[in-house]
Amino acid sequence: MQNLIKIAVDAMGGDGSPKKIIDGLIHNHKKSNENFFKIFGDKEKILKCIDNKIEKGFYEIINTNNIVKSTDSPLEAAKRGKDTSMWLSIESVKKKESDIVISAGNTGALLVIAKLNLKMLENIDKPALSALWPNKKGMSVVLDLGANIECSSKNLVDFSIMGASLYKSLYPNDNPNVALLNIGSEELKGNEIIKETFQKLNEKKSNNFNFSGYIEGNQLMNGEVNVIVSDGFTGNVALKTAEGTANFITSELKNALSGTILGKISSLLNMTNLKKFKKRLDPRLYNGAIFIGLDTPVVKSHGGTDYIGFSNSIDVCNRIVKGNLIDKIKDNIY
């Protein structure tokens, strides 16, 4: 049991908690027995959900009836008390009782409480919110997705290093290509901060990644770049646009294939390909944003995902710890 990865779980955050959260843990445990879950929340409700579906040697429940509400502002959440399931789960990694923490709760509250409890890594000024995006050839890491509206060139260089380290921890056999999200691919395009960052990354020699210059919004999914870097405002807009486009395409395709007899026949004939298409765009497969730059990574599961999505974000936690993310960042930051 000593070799298990200890994951602190805020069981009371997100829609349908704690049942959805516990169902996700049960589903994950059926696939893998590498994790030990330190579960924070209402013990009585949690035990009813577990219902002996996880062996006792693979979890511990830390009881608390106080929770951070989805309607709380970050300040309200911090003031709500140090006995909330979110606060206690983050405190667990602060005390080195857990290796990583995950919550599906209030994003703003999670980031603020994490910053109150955890230290910044040395030489990093700002943490960043990152996530996995699908592309034609596999996956990309994209950051920042909203933690920092304004960034300096130093911040963007740090994000490049942290993003590359995250990618290497998840995909240890690949050396990522890093690019800056910009309004054009030419060296003279963009604002002064972007151009200054370009120069710094161009001059930096790293064994951790290859710098590929600029990338435009219409190239995000082509798979030539593995780590895409931007300020939080631009990254968040790009994320929401990509999510909206994927939902639109899926919805319109479904309508086209179910609206007429011909469409229904066509869908039956192409069932295998349609299932592959649906799986490729299934957001549950990419669930789990990662808050990096602190001395412990914090994983944010989407509050509206189901138990499958939460289980997949547990996989992300496992791979981050096994991939020694924090050590990789420390080895490459300057």
**What are the structural domain ranges in the chain?**
1-121+293-323, 125-290
The arrangement of secondary structure in 125-290, i.e. its CATH architecture, is 3-Layer(aba) Sandwich (3.40)
Q: Does the pLDDT of residue 264 top 80, yes or no?
A: no
Predicted confidence (pLDDT) at residue 253 exceeds the cutoff of 90: no
What's the pLDDT at 265? Answer: 60
301, 329 Cβ separation under 8 angstroms: no
Q: Token pair of 50, please?
A: 């577990």
Q: Judge if 1-121+293-323 and 125-290 fold alike in CATH terms.
A: yes
Tens of pLDDT, residues 105-143? 998 899 999 999 999 999 999 999 998 888 888 889 999
68 vs 41: CA distance, rounded Å: 11
- pLDDT band for 279, please (50, 70, 90 cuts): low
Q: Which of 100-109, 118-127, 218-227, 264-273 has the lowest mean pLDDT?
A: 264-273
pLDDT for the residue 284:
66
Residue 93 pLDDT > 90? yes
Q: Is 55 exposed, middle or buried (0-12, 13-18, 19+ CB in 10 A)?
A: exposed
**Could you tell me if 299 and 100 are in contact, meaning their C-beta atoms sit under 8 angstroms apart?**
yes
Q: Which of 119, 72, 120, 64 is nearest to 88 (CA)?
A: 64
Q: What percent of the chain has pLDDT over 70?
A: 89
Mean pLDDT of all residues in the chain? 87
> 3-class DSSP state for residue 84?
strand
pLDDT at 70: 86
- Model confidence over 29-57: pLDDT tens digits? 999 899 999 999 999 999 999 988 999 89
**Closest-CA residue to 90 (of 113, 64, 65):** 113
Q: Reply yes or no on whether the pLDDT at 248 is more than 90.
A: no
Reported confidence tier of residue 303, pLDDT bands at 50, 70, 90:
confident
* pTM of this structure: 0.86
101 phi, psi to nearest 5 deg = -125, 145
**What is the architecture, at CATH level 2, of domain 1-121+293-323?**
3-Layer(aba) Sandwich (3.40)
- Region 265-280: mean pLDDT is 58
Q: Is the pLDDT confidence value at 263 over 70?
A: no
